[in-house]
Amino acid sequence: MLGYNNKEIENLKVANKQFTEQQKKKMSWQKKTAIGLGSLLGLLTIIHFSAKYSNYITKFQQDVLSSLSSCLNYVGENTLLNLKALKGVSAS
**pLDDT the model gives residue 92:** 45
For the stretch 20-52, pLDDT in tens is 887 777 767 777 777 778 888 887 777 777 766
State the Cα–Cα distance between residues 40 and 50, nearest whole angstrom.
15
Query: Mean pLDDT in the chain?
Result: 73
For the stretch 62-71, pLDDT in tens is 777 778 777 7
pLDDT at 90 exceeding the cut of 70: no
Yes or no: say if 51 and 65 are a contact pair by the CB < 8 Å rule.
Answer: yes
Choice between 64 and 53, residue whose per-residue pLDDT is larger: 64
Q: What is the pTM of this model?
A: 0.33
State the Cα–Cα distance between residues 52 and 62, nearest whole angstrom.
9
**For 25, left (φ over 0), alpha (ψ -120 to 50), or beta?**
alpha
Residue type at 90 in one-letter notation: S
